[in-house]
Amino acid sequence: MSNALAPRLIDPFARAITYLRVSVTDRCDFRCVYCMSENMTFLPKKELLTLEELDRMCSTFIGLGVEKLRITGGEPLVRRGIMTFFDAMSRHLDSGALKELTVTTNGSQLDRFATDLYAAGVRRINVSLDTLDAAKFERVTRWGKLDKVLSGIDAARKAGLRVKINTVALKGFNEDELFSLTDWCAREDMDLTFIEVMPMGDLGNEDRVGQYWALDDLRAQLATQFTLTDLTERTGGPARYIRLEETGQKIGLITPLTHNFCESCNRVRMTCTGELYMCLGQEDNASLRDILRASPEDDAPLIAAIEAAILRKPKGHDFDYSRQKADGQVSRHMSHTGG
């Protein structure tokens, strides 16, 4: 059956909030240069929501009309016991209240978990992959091994999962791989989305302006070899899509800097410590963990806090590189908010 309570969460701009992205850990087995520092200090375990608390929190959002749940991190699959959480969420798929349960991952753990994810009801996953060059991959991830990720992608496809590759467009790093990445995804029948680098976690040791490659330029380069058709299709996320007529493949473009997607935003993000961010590009948040822990038998205070937070959701973010500085940047790392 469909969610009888939908839509409960309506923001001040009449947008129904039906999509929740949840970080289940701030830890990761990579140290991608645009996501976190090489020497990270991770949160103490007691500050994280337990798996049972994550279940209760997500179930409350689903009861309020959330229909899509994306699990992120850090790297979500490095959290101990994480499959018990996925298995628990499958009951909402079975009831029809939840329409989609999906994951964003770096791919390093898919050899271990792809079959279990499919069994829990996951049908699509996003794999973050910025290069097909092993040496460059190790450089951008600092700790990662490309062959392990490619093996994980193969395991996911064999398990029946539809794979979408998410590639952060980085000037001077993967500009020369635009067509090789596109061709690889076409050959392997995988979707591909390019993402502009965002000013997250600028604490003095990352050069976001130097990394920034505008997707208008990327699109113009694609147009030198392909006929591009704009698609009206939207999947509930921030991507806009084009079709390459010569291959028939669909390419997503996520452009928070050059053409922001705020007007149709239907999502909020929750960190692994229970902070609800109504906008990725704003610092305002609502702390839900203590409210949840203070009322173990009564969800009413938690529901009231969620509803009050949604009423503070802003119209949009303020990311801007046009003046060659990272205006609108936020201090937290992407791994804290959830990728």
Return the structure tokens found at 67: 């229909």
Q: Which of 120, 109, 116 is nearest to 27 (CA)?
A: 109
Spatial distance between the Cα atoms of 329 and 62, rounded to a whole number of angstroms: 31
The binding site for S-adenosyl-L-methionine consists of 34, 74, 128, 198
Joined together, the tokens standing for residue 138 give 């190790």
Task: Fill in the amino acid letter for 313.
Answer: K
Distance spanning both ends of the chain, measured CA to CA: 30
Report the sign of the C-alpha dihedral through residues 4, 8, 13, 14, in that order.
Answer: positive
Q: How far is CA 119 from CA 157, 161, 199, in A?
A: 14, 10, 37
Quick check: helix, strand or coil at residue 231?
Answer: strand
**C-alpha closest to that of 50 among 293, 298, 338:** 293
3-state DSSP percent of the chain in helix, strand and coil, to 5: 35, 20, 45
Nearest to 261 by CA among 74, 46, 15: 15
**CA gap 222, 237 in Å, rounded:** 22
In the numeric block, the tokens 């020369």 are attached to 176
The annotated binding site is made up of 21, 28, 32, 34-35, 70, 74, 104, 128, 164, 198, 262, 265, 267-269, 279
Binding residues for GTP: 21, 70, 104, 164, 267-269
Nearest to 241 by CA among 232, 66, 315: 232
DSSP letter at 318?
Answer: -
Nearest-angstrom CA–CA distance, 281 and 263: 14
Residues in a beta bridge with 163: 125
**C-alpha span between 336 and 41 (Å, rounded):** 11
Question: Annotated binding site for [4Fe-4S] cluster, which residues?
Answer: 28, 32, 35, 262, 265, 279
